[in-house]
Amino acid sequence: MEEKLDLSLPCCQHLLSAILAMEPSDCLVSLARACGGGSITDQVQQFIWDHFLSVPGDFHAPYLRNFLKKLITQVEFDRGCVLDHLYELYAHYMTSSKDDCLGKRDARICKRISFLFPDDCSELQSCSLSRVLEFSLQCSLNMLEGDTGCSIWPSSLFLSELILSHPELFSHKSCFEIGSGVGLVGLCLAHVKASKVILSDGDLSTLVNMKFNLELNHLNVEADLPLRNKDPSMVKCLYLPWESASESELQDIMPDVVLGADVIYDPVCLPHLVRVLAILLNQMNFCRQRASCDGPSSNIEHENGEHDHIDAIEIADGRCKVIYNDSSKCLRKEAPVAYIACVIRNIETFSCFLSLGEQANLHFVDLTDSLKPVNLLCYMQSYNQASVRLLRITFIN
């Protein structure tokens, strides 16, 4: 009897992660071949059966049916032997009634996204108890039929890898995401221990789905409560349409870091998006809010050592720092920064965003080549990290 495949092998871990994430069948077949040294052996088929097909209740039946069809076709094309129980299961799928949810716009499936930490990244693994960090996400089946907010977009995968690869940029900071979708970025922010995680979306059905996903992954969700609540174990979810968000509402958020994934897509929405970013990143608003929260003891410290008892603002090189004076120490805190990840699908739309941003005193730095995340989703052939651009945005007073 042949020895079973070891799940700890990278090729097996990649195949496992790809099926859990519901990668396309061609991707799964390619990974299955890698496990068998170039062919889909009996060992590989048994591995797939043991881990996914013997108890298929947790998987979306049409997805497994399509995968089985592709797998059987490839084994037969290679003149290999298909295990009998694979034939039997495929026959069961073919004779069973059609899945009613295939045509429904609001149909939902559960994908499990696994971030695989390399052995040589001990500093990253310190954020995780194991080499694998897995999140379950309820998603839409029909991304192209209007339910975009409940789909997993490439830039959200990129930002999630960035957060887990560079936790020092987000840990112990108040983080706010615009257009949070399924909530994956928020889950990663909570994992690296951001001091506050605030997620938002302008679509109510997306917001409901996002809250479900946070709770599915054992996070407490705080909604419709004051944002200044100090409970760090809570993730806050806001209904925030860009076009109607008020300046006072945005200033109350007071984030250290703003994030956005694939939010530059609709030219009609761009003026509203730029306005939201400008308010969130405005250093003067930020500093005045921080100073007012800190009380009358806040002050500006000049180079000569004198202090003015007004808002605690220090500006240099387009950056702003707040000085907190609590009689024991001064804490300098940088003004907020935004990290926006996007796939450029229409260069005119992207250029319009940059132009509107410059008119609103936003300063853009392209970090695509200088701040790269570790490839933690190496099993995903449907996701190309290199297709995503990363912008760092600040406000210039």
pLDDT tens across 331-373, in order? 446 789 999 999 999 999 999 999 999 999 999 999 999 999 9
Query: Cα angle vertex 134, ends 104, 115, to 5°?
Result: 110
Question: Is 172 in the same domain as 242?
Answer: yes
Residue 229: give the domain boundaries. 147-284+335-395
Q: What is the mean pLDDT of the chain?
A: 82
Within a domain: 118: no
pLDDT tens across 74-85, in order? 999 999 999 999
Question: Is 277 in the same domain as 195?
Answer: yes
**pLDDT confidence of residue 288:** 57
Question: Is 340 in the same domain as 262?
Answer: yes
Question: Is 191 in the same domain as 258?
Answer: yes
How confident is residue 146, by pLDDT bands cut at 50, 70 and 90? very low
- 220/286: higher pLDDT: 220
The answer to whether residues 397 and 361 touch, using CB atoms and an 8 Å cutoff, is yes
pLDDT tens across 149-187, in order? 688 999 999 999 999 999 999 999 999 999 999 999 999
- 99/30: higher pLDDT: 30
Within a domain: 267: yes
Question: Is 63 in the same domain as 174?
Answer: no
Within a domain: 111: no
Last residue of a domain, one of 83, 98, 113: 98
pLDDT tens across 244-261, in order? 999 999 988 989 999 999
Question: Is 245 in the same domain as 365?
Answer: yes
Question: Is 85 in the same domain as 175?
Answer: no
The answer to whether residues 149 and 206 touch, using CB atoms and an 8 Å cutoff, is yes
